[in-house]
Structure formats: C-alpha cells, structure tokens
Structure 1
Amino acid sequence: MLSNGLPACSIYILLFLVCSCSNILQNDFRFISSQDLKSSITIFSAEGNTSYSQILFDVSRNQLFLSVRDGLYRLSLSGLKFLEYADWQSPENKKIECTYKGQNEESCHNYIKVLLSNRWHIFVCGTNAFSPVCSWREINNISNVIEVVDGIAKSSYNPTANITAFLSENGEYYFGGPTDFSGSDSLISKTARNMTLRTKQYNSFWLNEPQFIGSFESEKFVYFLFRETAVEHMNCGKTIYSRVARVCKNDYGGIHAIFKDNWTTFLKARLNCSTSGEYPFYFNEIQSMSYVATEQTMYATFTTSPNGIAGSAVCSFHLSAIDEAFNGPFKYQHDMNSAWVKHDNVHLGHYNCMSSLRNNHLLETSKYQLMDSAVQSTSLDPLYTSTLERFTHITVDVVDTKKDSVHILYVATTEGLVKKLSLLPLHGKHKKACVVEVWQVATSIFNMKFLKETSSVYITTNDGLIQIPSAHCKRHTSRANCKNAMDPYCGWNEREESCSVAPFGDPHNRFWIQHINSCPILDSPIDGGWSTWSEWSPCHHKTWANSDSFDQCLCQTRQCNNPQPSNGGRECSGPSIAVTNCTVHGGWSDWSGWSACSATCGTAVKIRLRTCTNPAPAFGGRVCVGQDRLEAFCTEHPPCPAEAVDGGWSPWSPWSSCSTNCGEGYAIRQRKCNNPAPLNGGQYCKGKFSAPAFFLPNDDTLGTKERSYRSVLGAKPNEVAV
C-alpha cells in the first residue's frame, strides 16, 4: 500500500490508462499535431512581451485588440498584422509599493484584465501593480487616452484573480470579482451614472469565495456564472458548486438605509451538470462558458474537484431553464443550526423586474438569495465527458450544413489540446457531441474565442496569439474519407474532386456533397496523408551505397499520419525524408591530356592537370589530398643546333708610339673582333680593325685648307688621320 491508501497496482493501471489514451489519440485520423497545424495557422508574437490574454474584436474596422503585460496591441483581423502598440506600464513608485506589501516582482506589473468596447471607444482596466486603474481610449488610436478612471470595483488587484465584466447595451458596466487587495471581498456590481450597486459585503449567503467565469445579458436581466463554496452543504463538509446569478437591469438598489447601494433582485441557483442515474455523478466546478444569444443557449465546461481523479464534461443550458429555476421556490435556512427548507417565492413580480418593493418587503426578501431548484441542462446527460482530462475554455460556432444548423464546440484542455466537437441535431433530451478533430496547440491556453467573420479560433498563450482556421478539409484526400469525417465544415466538391468548405459559403450548392448524420466513422478504410515537413536538422546520411562512412547532412522528415492509414487504407506515396547540404568530401577529376612541349628541340617539358571537383568539397568536407599537376620531359625531340654568334668589336687599344722622332710620322690604334668572337657561322665584325694617324710638323704657315682637313679627320693638332 502507498501512503495515500491506494494499492500500488492501482497506480500502475492508472498510468497505463493515461499512456494508452495518449497513444490512441495520436493514432486517430482526427488528431492534428502541432507540426501539422503550422501550415494553416497564423501567429502573432512580439519580442519582450508575455501574458497575452484578453482579446477584443472590432469587425467593422477589420481589427482586433490584444492585451499583454504592460501594454496593448491593435492588429488586423486578416493576417494579424501589427497596427499599433500602446505602452501601459505601472509607475515605478507603484511597483515599489507593491513589493513592499509582500507581492513578488512578477505580480507587480500592469496586467490587463478588462478589455471592452462601446463601438466608438475601448475601455481597458489593468491591475497596475495591485492598484487597479482603467482608461477610455480611442478605438483607432489606442495610445490616445481620453479619460483615466479609478479601477476599484471595475478590475481586480491580483493578476491571477478570476473575474468577469461587460458593458451592457445601455452603457452600464457590470463586474464580478474581488475588489480589495487581499481578494476577500468579492462582489457583483453595476456602475452607472456615478452610482455603484453591489452585493452585500462579507455575506456568505450572497457570495462565498466565488470564482467568476463569465456573464451575459438578456432583455431584462444580467447573468453571472461562477463557482463557490456551497453554503447549503457546509453542515456536511466543504464542497464547490457551480452557480448562475441573476439581477434585473432596472434594479437601482433600495431606499434609505435598507439595501442602499445593494441589489434588491439578486438571486442565484445551482447549475446541474451530471450524469443521469439512480446516483448521479456531478461535475461540480464550472470552468468556462460561452453564450449563443441567437439560440438563447449557454454552453459551459465543468470538471471534478482538483484533488480528485480528473474528469470533465460539457453541458448546455437554455435561458428558459435558467429563468424557470429563478421563478421557483427559495432554499432557506432560519439559523445556523436549522436545516435548509423550501420557501415560496411570494415576490415573483419584483424578481422579474416588474415592481419596486416597500421597505418591509425589502427586509423580508433580504433573507432569500438561493433558489431551491437547480438549473437543469438541455440533455439528461452531459453533451460530452472525458476522464483523466480537465477542460478549461470553451467557445462556440453555429454552422449551416446541407440540412441543418450544427453547433460546433471548441473545448480546450490543461494539456494544450483543443477538441472540436459537433453537436448532432437530435431531438428531445438525448443529445450527443462528437469529436470531429483534436488540435495539438502544445502550450498552456490563457484565453480562447471564436470569430464567425474569419471562421477562426483565436487562442492566447503566454507567448503570443494564435489564429487557427475552423476547417481542415484538405486532410481528407478521398470522397469516402471526406464523407466519413463528418465534419460540418467539409463536403466533397464534385467539380474540383476535393474535400472543401462550401463553395462561396453556400452549403446548398448542388456540386457540394455533404451528409452529416452521425459521429465520424472510425472503422472505415482511412487513406494515409503526409504530415507537414519537419524543420531541417543535422543528420548522418550514407551518400554512396558502397561507402563505409556516413556524411553530415541536413534532413527533414514527414510522417504518414495526417491521417494515419487504418482499416486497410492506402499508405502514403512519396519519400518520407529529404536530405540536403550533406558534407561533401572533395574528389579528384580525371587527369587532363598532356600539353604541348615547351620547345620543339632540345630540352623541353610537358604537363597535365586535374581538379578537386569530382565532387568539389562542400559543407565542411575535406579537400583533395595529392598533386594537381604532373610534369614530364619531352624525350622524343632532337638536340637543338648551335646558335650562330656574330662577332663584336672589342674597345680600341691606346695609340701606339709615333713612328719617327722628327718630321712626318704616324701612330696606330687597334681593336679585335672578339667581343664576342664570331661562332657557329656567325658574321665577322664590320669595319676596320686598325686606325693609323699621320703627324705633321708644327707649321703655323699651313694654309687654312690643310688645317681644316685635319680638323675634319678629327686629328689632334699636328696630326693627320688616315
């Protein structure tokens, strides 16, 4: 036995069931993984921002508003394109004061909890470091603050508080949630014309530690959904019940000291979401709601208590059933030691907003808030239940099909899954919701809303906003698969031979075939479909079959699980892996032919080349090892003949001595043809090899002609050149 009293085998069985359910889910053709969703979704995320939470649609201007911690975004509806950002941080002194009061630094920021519109302006409230504040802003310029309003009784102090708020059609502000620093004073209030109306303070018969889920209005009433500690069950121990409270829109409180600033029409009743039988099983804790005004129907998710085995359910409640409970008797306890008894509702007109009570009647009605009868759901059993799973959010769409209108419920879980449920149009008390698809969002979901105009589900997480289209018809590749999917959004287009949404939004198009008459058929042959390709990642791949080594590559894979073939369906065709950017080691090309010899005779060389291009090294591959050039002597050439060398004169020698000591004489100078000497038939030097000169006696009587002759020959004085 374990410490909690459960046998060990029970724990093992529980773990086995959890694993088995997970495996069955992922092998089901209705399951769409986060990887496969990527190709169809749109994501908005901005660096540095966290806690994406509140969403407000402004369809007429094709925009939406998105809150983050310390700020607000304005985005386009189509494509989630950035339009504007308004920074709204808490002042530093507020942050310091917040931490001094014992709050952690993370909580001491401005978390937007309320985001509403009156069609011309938006109304935004934030925690402001545990000092709530609100502001009115221009709808097309959210940075322009028109008015700053005190946030008490309009927003919570704590960013984790569960609250609800809305602006009524006549501009009155309704709020449900804690309204003090500690979170101990919760209320349901109305602010209008400088007055605030609220529930009785610190009165557990009115509200007992409520956790608010949502609110909506009808023509005469405003309704609040919450869960709270059941005061009628206190004698048997503490338990949580789900409630719906109702107040009249024309309730403006009592007079004088009696019910002054308090509701006079406040009533609450239990919501019954349980399995039928002799001993019903109750899903006591409401988690989320969505009201379809055109159908006057409220859908809600319920769970078991957090300290019990996880279980969840979806129930629906018609507005007439809610009002029927409020028109019934009260549940009343005279004092703490008395039993709870039934008490007639004698002031039915007042609680239906048709009269004002006198003072003595107000004193009497102050005793009664809780209705004796619970609000019954539209079906004997929940529309959908799930074990070992906890539902969080719900949003609803109404789809026109070939025959009827079908309600589509989108239900989120704590595991980050979104289940698309189709509510079959059955009659009577036996209604059934079918699982059409399961989306793996793979992150914790903060908020979820559906918008008809874009036919998309909008989901906020800590990291961003995700827009997911409602229809994924292309997954069903054959007519049979399309039909058996039983998706109200999808039908077989005979013209295009594909599974698609209704052409031009017309489900009655004669070429569009659809038969929604049951839950998806799971035992028919399902042809396999490829998932989207994974991201590129490093891998090892054997490039050549005869290679002993593996190369480093980038690979991406896809799986045949979108859907997975089953019941004899065809396998996917095509490759399941793609490889690129493999490490390529260099390889030599073939040697080129020998080049021509460098000379035609005598010593000469020839070369041949190769390149490292077979293949060229790539993505970190090794270069080729070895020579890329070879040289060889040309041995077949004859020796080259000797080269002829022409002779060249040496410099002139000095002049020789004169041939005589007196009278006429001569001197000689010479040069040789040896610079160089002529070789191999080269030409001999041209010109004379000697140069004599004749000397004459000094005779100044020589005529001018003689002297000129000497000068022309370049002879020195008294010498004659020959």
Structure 2
Amino acid sequence: MMRYISTMDSKRFPGPTLWKYTTSILIGFLFNTIGPIGCVSDKFLWKANSEVVIQGVGNGVEWFTKNETRPNHYRILLVKDDNVLIAARNYFYNISMISLQENMHSRWDASRIAVTECLMKDKSEEVCQNYIRVIALNDSDLLVCGTNAFKPICRSYEIKRDSYVRRISQNGVGSCPFDPNHNSTALLVDHKLFAATVADTSGRDPLIFRGMIRTEQHDSRWLNEPDFVSTFDYEDKVYFVFREAAVENINCGKAVFSRIARVCKNDEGGKRSLVGTWTSFYKARLNCSIPGEFPFYFNEVVHSTGVLKGNHISSVDKHAASDIFYAIFNTPENSIPASAICAFSMGDVNKTFKSRFKGQESSVHNWLAVHEKETPVPHPEGCQSNSKNIPDQTLNFIKSHPLMNDAVPSLGHQPILVNGGFNYRFTRIAVHQQYLAVDGRYYDILFIGTNDGHVLKVINIEQNGKMRSIVIEELLVFKDKSMIVGLEVYHKFGLEKLIVVSGDDVVSIPLHRCHIKVTCRECVALQDPYCSWLDGKCSAFSSRREISRIQNIRVGFHAMCEEEEMNDPKFGQTLDNVASAQMIPTSIFIGSLVLVFLFAGVLGFIIGFKVSTCRTPGECESPLDDPKANLHHHHHHHHHRQDTDHYYAKPDNIVPTKYNNVWDCNPRGNKVPNTSTDFRSVNNYTNVRGKTYL
C-alpha cells in the first residue's frame, strides 16, 4: 500500500525543518546583500502547502522493476505516443506509460574487443560497458547509439510485434559520446540526426553534428568546454541548450554561462569558406538572474523543456499562451548553493538572434558589440534556401562572430522559483501546460525534480502586479534520496500521471493527491488547480459544469468553507490541523532566526578582524595580479599624492573615456566628477586567486 504523510507529520522531526528554514533565511539574507531584489525576496522563504512521502504501490502508484544487478543507469531518451523509451547500461526498454509495464526490451553489450581495449587503457570496468545515449525513431526503424566501451556505435532496429530486430550497424562518432559521463543530446528531425556531443575520448573536440556538417573544430569562439543539456526543433531551425566556459568573460576570470544555440535544418555548409561547417550557427546567453543594481546570476543551465504553448503566469485568456520553454539553472558547485526556474519566450529568442553580434578585434581586445555598419546586409540570421550561395565575405563574418551581443531575457525578468539552501538542487522539469481550473484560469503546472529524490509541484500567478509562485506539494518519491534524472507528464484517455525516473527506478504517481485533504479548508488551502471541494470531499473535477465546486487558488481561502464547517462538530479540531499543516511552528522560526544572527555575528567579527589588520602601508593597494596591466593605480610616497591617469568605461562598453582621478584605495561611487553620466571604474575589478571552475 502507498502511505501519504502530510505536513502535520513533519513537525515530529524539528531538526531537518529547523535546518531547512535557517539555510533559507540565511541564503535570502546573503542574496539581499548582493543587490535589491525586492519583489522576489519572498521566493527564498517559500514553504510547500503539503509535504508527502510516497512508498509502496497502490492508489495510482506503479513501479517498473527489473532483476538486473544495479546500478541500472536509467534515463529517458524518447517519448512516443503512449510509450517511453528508457536507456540503461547494456539495455534499452520500451515501457507503457499507461500501465508502466514493459512492452519490449533489447540487450546490447559492448563488443569483447572494445572492452579489452578499454581495460588496457586503464579504464574501469564500470565505464567499459555499453551505455545507450541516443534513441531516435525513424519511420518504422529505431536508431540506437551506445558508448560501446569508448568505441561509439549506432544500430538500426526493425520494430516487430514483440521485439527489436537488428539490421545494420555504423560508426557512432559524432552521434554518441565516448565516455558515459560526457553530457550529450540528440534529436531526429526530417530523418536526419542532429547531435551535440564530443568527437574524441578526452572530450576536447566538442561538436554539433549532422551528417557531414559540424561546428568549427578547435575554435573556442564556437564551443568552449560545453556541457550539452537538451535540444528541440522550432520552425526551420534546431536549437541546443548548453553551458560552457564564457570566452567573452576570460579577461575577468573564468566563468560558465548558459547558452542557446541554433542551426538551420537545411544548412549544407559553405562552398569555399566553411566547407563542411555550419553557416547558420549562432549562440546567445540565457539570462536567468535576480534583478538589482548587481544582478545575481544563475549561470549553469542543467535542463530545459522543449517548446510548448504556455504562459509563465496564469491567465483567463486561453490565447495569452505563446511558444515558451522552461529551464533549470544552478549556481556553481563552489559557490552559494542555489537553483532557479526561468521561462523564456521563443519570440525573445528570435529577437536576440536578429540583433547585434559580439566580437573581438584581436586577442588583446575586449569583447564588444559589433557596429551595425560592420554587420552583413541582409542580417545573416535567416535560413537560406541554399547555403552554398552565401557570399564568402558573409561566411568569414559568420566564422568569427558566432556570439550574439544581447542575452535572452527571462519572462518577467526574474526567476519563477528559487531554492536557496543546502538541502537539494533542481535537476529536471516537466510541465502540464495550460490546465483549465475551476476558477476559469489557465495554469502551467510545473513538476520539478531534485537531486535527492523530491518532486515539487509549482504554479505561478500574478498578484499586485508581481509574480508569485505557489509550491503546492513537495513529494519525496525515492526514499534513498536518489537523483531524479527524468520527468514526463502523461494525460490521455482520462489518465493523468507523472513518470519519475532515477538511476535505478521508474515510478508513476498521480498528478494530484486531492483525497488526502479531508476538510474544505484543507482542500482550498492546498491551492492545487486539480483539486476542489464538492459534496463533502476534495477531488479532481471532470466536468466544469459543476459550478458548486469550491476553489480559490490565488488566496487559498474560501468563505463557503466557513459555512460548511460551522455545522461540523470537528470544526475546532480542523482549525488546529490546518494551522499545523500550513504554518511554520513558532519554535522553529525563532530557532532559525537565532542561528542566523549567531552566524552573522561570527561572520561580522571575522570580517572586522580582517579589515583591522589592513592598516599598514603597502597592504592597501590594487588587487590586480598583473603589475603590467593597462590599469594604473596611485601609490602614496612621503605623504604626497601624485595624480595618474585613470580610465572609466561606459556601461555599454563603448570607447573608454579618460579622466584624471586619484586612486586612494577607497572605491569611488559610480558617478564621474562634474557629470551625471553613470560610469564604471575599471580599477574595481578583482582577480580571485586559486579560483577554478570544476
């Protein structure tokens, strides 16, 4: 049997809850010190309306289990109709999403020769297996690619009634990674496989590949240590979402940025220049950040949905939905741990790719926006009917300018949800888009997987002109805290379920748990678009003609519940239960504040001690490591000041302007004397010693 534990049960275990809220308050405090985040500060202090633990089977919970020796290394690679194809180590499975039963499977071990050579190269037996990384359906054939013990290979299978029949094999280099730990993605479009992976065992030759066309080799301007996340097609282009070391930021230190890149489906390469290379490859930064004077960026994208018809905030207008996609972003492992969900419009993506390019005059110059006069006419972002006819001058520009100057802004210019704490990070997202609730509004219902086996159910609404997220449920799906590597929403034939995949398990759970709320107050307070109160019970509705249903998603309270429960003898007990289920216990809240203040006091003492030691001559100087850098600073000699030239760069990175100002080891404001124009002093850059991205 499946057992549900609501929020009321969690108060028996104050330790984890106290730590959770302490870290949430602390992270929120730190983010507030970085910049004014105003309307999004409450996103750090969210609390799920219901916390549930799922275990066993029954009540709509089903498990797919096999007897193979673990680990299985499951991952979802293809969803087709009512079936999901799941890759594993030396296996791939076709599973029915209706019953979660196996339709068929195939075993594919790495060849003996490949395994022997792999072991001779001092590789572990664990990686010298065949990890399936590509599954694509091509009419009646199935294309499957595996690592094959560091010798990638692809196979074509004919689909029979109860099995897959092997047909032909081919080299898988460029379509599948060598190392199972390399992130890659692939998509079959118009009978052609578009793949983003690496073409060597070391991972030093990343590429986006289709047939004989690829990205420029060994050119960091095109791809620089990328981790590919996902791919989707939209109109006449194929898009790739990934993160990479930002070459345009190298002068300020190594950093990882999130990207979206695109190529034209019909691109055949150039005639004389860019032969065998994309002539339509461009990339832009995805901006998922907390706004403020100094924005806080979530730089590392880890997953994204495909394009869907949705709206990042609920709306009564069905036609308000547009082509958007959602993505998960994390902070680096060696920084403040935090995750965020951002939504992006394909309209904004197209607008970005039609704007200015970013370029570098030489290796010693900064990356700046390319002037419109230097951009080819017409703008080269459009797909050509024949790429062989593109002029060489335009191709040379494309080769040296793959990066767009503007970033793609997130919808609402802020994250939808932020998790700032040490408890978990977001890993996967799935969306039930434009669900029509009892209140007549359309909601995008987000299901967010974490790295410790949880799933969050979230909606986003507009309240008082601001976006506000409602975390409806926090579900513990895998009690062993396994990372969630796959999520799929299924709703057909009256069935509604969520497929959740970890490395070793596949489970389907209902999209809602309305029935565990036994009172009208609890049902409405859940704020779940699926749930409403009717005839003395909380349930999902199937007919919108039932106008007597009680629901209030935006507020979580309905006056009609008062009328019903006034006649209920358990009314007093109900109030106690609701309060304990929805409110943070006072003791936990006070304990969290005490811990935060203690931490702040210790941190303030350490900072004060460090500052007090920086008072002797010579210790208060420019933090730049390179004494030959083209930025001057002033030294004090015999208590006399000597003015030197200083350079200030405008925010738009136009030509620097020289001003005579004195560097006195105290950061100046953002105003240059005798002018009201904002400037940024280049003397304020700081190199952090020993900081390396892993």
TM-score normalised by the chain length of structure 1: 0.66
Q: What is the Cα deviation at residue 75 of structure 1?
A: 2.5
What per-residue deviation string (whole Å, max 9, x for no partner) do you get for residues 45-101 of structure 1?
A: 101151121243332xx4332222111222322221233221111122211111112
Tell me if the contact between 1:404 and 1:425 (Cα under 8 Å) persists in the aligned partners. no
Deviations 1:405-441 (A, max 9, x none): 200111112222111111226798x433210111112
Q: Please tell me whether residue 400 in structure 1 is matched to residue 436 in structure 2.
A: yes
Superposed CA deviations along residues 598-638 of structure 1, whole A, max 9, x for unmatched, are: xxxxxxxxxxxxxxxxxxxxxxxxxxxxxxxxxxxxxxxxx
| Distance in 2 between residues matched to 1:319 and 1:28, nearest whole Å | 30
Alpha-carbon separation, structure 2, partners of 1:15 and 1:161: 36
RMSD over equivalenced CA pairs, Å = 3.1
Matches within 5 A, 1:63-462: 63-139=83-159, 140-168=161-189, 170-191=190-211, 196-256=212-272, 258-294=273-309, 295-343=322-370, 344=372, 345-354=375-384, 356-388=389-421, 389-398=424-433, 399-402=435-438, 403-424=440-461, 430-442=466-478, 443-453=482-492, 454-462=495-503
Distance of aligned partners of 1:316 and 1:278 in 2 relative to their CA distance in 1, 3 Å threshold:
same
What amino acid does structure 1 have at the position aligned with 2:174?
A: A
SS at 2:250 equivalent: helix
Are the aligned partners of 2:229 and 2:302 in contact in 1 as well (CA < 8 Å)? yes
State the distance in 1 between where 2:164 and 2:188 align: 21
Q: Which string of whole-angstrom CA distances, capped at 9 and with x for unpartnered residues, describes residues 200-237 of structure 1? A: 01110000000011111111211110000000110111
Q: Matched residues in 2 for 1:304 and 1:185: separation?
A: 25
The structure, 1 or 2, with the larger RCO (C-alpha pairs under 8 Å, 6+ apart) is 2
User: Which of the two has greater helix per residue?
Assistant: 2
Conserved? CA contact 2:50–2:581, under 8 Å:
no
Letter in 1 for 2:523: C
Rate the CA distance shift 1:209–1:38 in 2: closer, same or farther, 3 A.
farther
* Shift of residue 21, structure 1, vs aligned partner: 6.3
1:385–1:100 Cα change, 3 Å: same
Q: Counterpart of 1:500 in 2: which secondary structure?
A: strand
Q: Does the 8 Å CA contact 1:400/1:507 hold for their aligned counterparts? A: no
Query: Residues 361-389 of structure 1, C-alpha deviation per residue, up to 9 Å, x if partnerless?
Result: 21232211111111001112111111014
Closer/same/farther in 2, CA of residues 501 and 100 from structure 1, 3 Å limit: same
Distance (Å, rounded) in 2 between the aligned partners of 1:371 and 1:459: 36
Q: Deviations over 1:312-369 (max 9, x none)?
A: 1100000011111111111110111011121134345432114642123212322111
Match of 1:486 among 516, 524, 527: 527
SS of equivalent to 2:432: strand
The 8 Å contact of residues 232 and 307 in structure 2, kept in 1 or not, is answered as no
TM-score by length of 2: 0.68
Deviation at 1:142, TM superposition (A): 4.0
Tell me if structure 2 keeps the 8 A contact 1:27–1:564: no
Q: Percent of aligned pairs with the same residue?
A: 31
After TM superposition, list the pairs within 5 Å mapping 1:22-33 onto structure 2. 29-33=49-53
- What is the SS of the residue equivalent to 1:341? strand
* In 2: Cα distance, 1:183 partner to 1:231 partner: 18
In the alignment, the residues of structure 2 paired with residue 471 and residue 93 of structure 1 have an alpha-carbon distance, to the nearest angstrom, of: 50
Shift of 1:400: 1.8
What's the CA shift for 1:112? Answer: 0.8
Q: 1:272 to 1:38 in 2, by over 3 A?
A: farther
| 2-structure distance, mates of 1:487, 1:382 | 21
CA distance, structure 2, for counterparts of residue 427 and residue 352 of structure 1: 40
Mapped to 1, the partners of 2:112 and 2:54 lie a distance apart of 40
2:76 maps to 1:54: yes
Q: Secondary structure at the match of 1:268?
A: strand
Q: Give SS of 1:350's match.
A: coil
Unaligned 5+ segments in structure 1 are 1-12, 528-561, 571-722
d(CA) in 1 for partners of 2:65, 2:406: 47
Question: Are the equivalent residues in 2 in contact too, given 1:477–1:498 (CA < 8 A)?
Answer: yes
Q: Which amino acid aligns with 2:483?
A: S
Tell me, in whole angstroms, the C-alpha distance in 1 between the residues paired with 2:225 and 2:443. Answer: 37
Change (3 A) 1:346 1:501: same
CA distance in structure 2 between the partners assigned to 1:207 and 1:319 by the alignment = 22
Deviation at 1:147, TM superposition (A): 2.6
2:382 maps to amino acid: N
Distance 1:289 1:239 in 2: 21
Please say if residues 156 and 163 of structure 1, whose CA atoms lie closer than 8 Å, have aligned partners that are also in contact.
Answer: yes
Structure 2: runs of 5 or more not aligned: 1-14, 26-43, 310-321, 565-573, 583-694
Tell me: CA distance 1:27–1:133, structure 2 relative to 1, closer, same or farther (3 Å). same
1:276 maps to a residue whose letter is P
SS of equivalent residue, structure 1 residue 435: strand
Q: Which amino acid aligns with 1:160?
A: N
Q: Indicate the residue corresponding to 1:640 in structure 2.
A: none
**Residue range with higher mean Cα deviation, 386-395 or 263-272:** 386-395
How far, CA to CA, are the matches of 1:475 and 1:37 in structure 2?
Answer: 16
CA 177–563 in structure 1, closer or farther in 2 if over 3 Å, else same: farther
> Partner amino acid for 1:364?
F
What is the one-letter code of the residue matched to 1:567?
A: A
Query: Once the 2 structures are TM-superposed, how far is the Cα of residue 520 of structure 1 from its aligned partner?
Result: 8.6
Matched residues, number: 509
Q: 1:439 to 1:25 in 2, by over 3 A?
A: farther
**Cα pair 1:475 1:563 within 8 Å, conserved:** no
1:163 shift after superposition: 0.8
| Paired residue secondary structure (1:410) | strand
Letter in 1 for 2:217: Q
**Whole-Å separation in 2 of the counterparts to 1:14 and 1:236:** 39
The 1-side partners of 2:133 and 2:544 are apart by: 39
State how far apart, in whole Å, the 1-side matches of 2:224 and 2:148 are: 26
Change in 2 beyond 3 A, CA 1:427/1:112: farther
SS of 1:296's partner is: strand
- Find the aligned partners of 1:202 and 1:378 in 2 and give their Cα distance: 34
**Distance in 2 between the 1:55 and 1:99 partners?**
28
* Rounded Cα–Cα distance in structure 1 between residues aligned with 2:57 and 2:328: 24
